[in-house]
Amino acid sequence: MKFQIAIDGPSGAGKSTVAKALAARLGIVYVDTGALYRTVGYYVRSRGVDPHNAQEVEALLPQIRLELRYENGVQQVYLNGEAMGDRIRTPEMSMYASAVSAIPAVRNFLLDTQRSIAKANSVVMDGRDIGTVILPNADVKIYLTASDECRAMRRYEELKAKGIDTDYESVLADMLERDRNDSNRAVAPAVAAPDAIVFDNSGMQPDECIAGLMTVISKLIRV
Ligand code: DC
């Protein structure tokens, strides 16, 4: 029996850390959908196109071939045959991803990639619209969130650990701007599905959050 676990929520809520750990414990595939939007953003940037210009972005889509591959259990996105790696993880790519993700043609373009992987495998999929749009019949829907300060501090620590030069204040400001863009857009806004379980992990260590979610999941599906 295949099953689907959808994890949505704002940036810095710890979705990827938690989703990755849950997938490993359950022995199923982890899908990071944000990486797909980041890769489209990366391509748009490489072509010098304004990510807010829907028409020009849409015109680039036929040039993009995306593939998700799993290498030693880690998701890797390939853009026209080339592995993206950490190039899509910069603050600039976060902004490009958020801008292109508001364009309906981009969302449509990425729909099949996301649905087909969930059709072929049991998945833990994280994103913004997994429980609302991509997998509306998911067996478990979780909306993971935390306070603004907590999320910004985590993002700041993560960027610092990667050697990306930034400061807490600008990480917080960028994050709030991205949250605004993502939750106010017309298509697939980042909101909790009505049947999602809202889980606030402010002040929790990852292990505590993962254990709490395992309890939630094991009540809903036989794992
Ligand atoms: O999860 P992330 O930070 O890597 O996502 C980058 C951007 O992509 C985010 O600001 C909004 C967009 N996104 C989306 O619109 N829908 C998704 N399912 C995943 C990400």
Q: State if residue 97 touches ligand 1 by the CB under 6 angstroms criterion.
A: yes
What mean pLDDT comes out for the span 158-167? 89
For ligand 1, what atom is nearest to the CA of residue 35? 4
**Res 36 pLDDT > 90:** yes
> Rg of the Cα trace of the chain?
17
Å from CA of 205 to ligand 1 middle: 23
152 near 172, Cβ under 8 Å?
A: yes
DSSP E strand stretches across the chain: 4-8, 29-32, 66-71, 74-79, 82-83, 123-127, 140-145, 197-200
The answer regarding whether domain 4-217 maps to CATH 3.40.50.300 reads: yes
**What's the whole-number average pLDDT of the chain?**
94
CA nearest to 89, candidates 52, 134, 35, 45: 35
The pair of three-digit structure tokens given for residue 137, joined into one six-digit string: 């019949």
106 near 100, Cβ under 8 Å?
A: yes
Element (H, E) at 185: none
Q: State if residue 178 touches ligand 1 by the CB under 6 angstroms criterion.
A: yes
As a whole number of angstroms, the distance between CA 3 and CA 220 comes to 11
**What is the reported pLDDT for 113?**
93
What mean pLDDT comes out for the span 10-19? 93
Q: State if residue 174 touches ligand 1 by the CB under 6 angstroms criterion.
A: no
pTM to 2 decimal places: 0.93
CA nearest to 181, candidates 94, 74, 110: 94
**Res 109 pLDDT > 90:** yes
Q: State if residue 107 touches ligand 1 by the CB under 6 angstroms criterion.
A: no
Domain extents in the chain: 4-217
**What is the reported pLDDT for 74?**
87
pLDDT band at 160 (very low <50, low <70, confident <90, very high): very high
User: Which tens digits make up the pLDDT trace of 170-193?
Assistant: 999 999 999 999 899 888 888 999
Q: State if residue 20 touches ligand 1 by the CB under 6 angstroms criterion.
A: no
Is 163 buried (19+), middle (13-18) or exposed (0-12) by CB count in 10 A? exposed
CB atoms within 10 A of CB 128: 25
DSSP string, 129-153: SIIIII-TT-SEEEEEE--HHHHHH
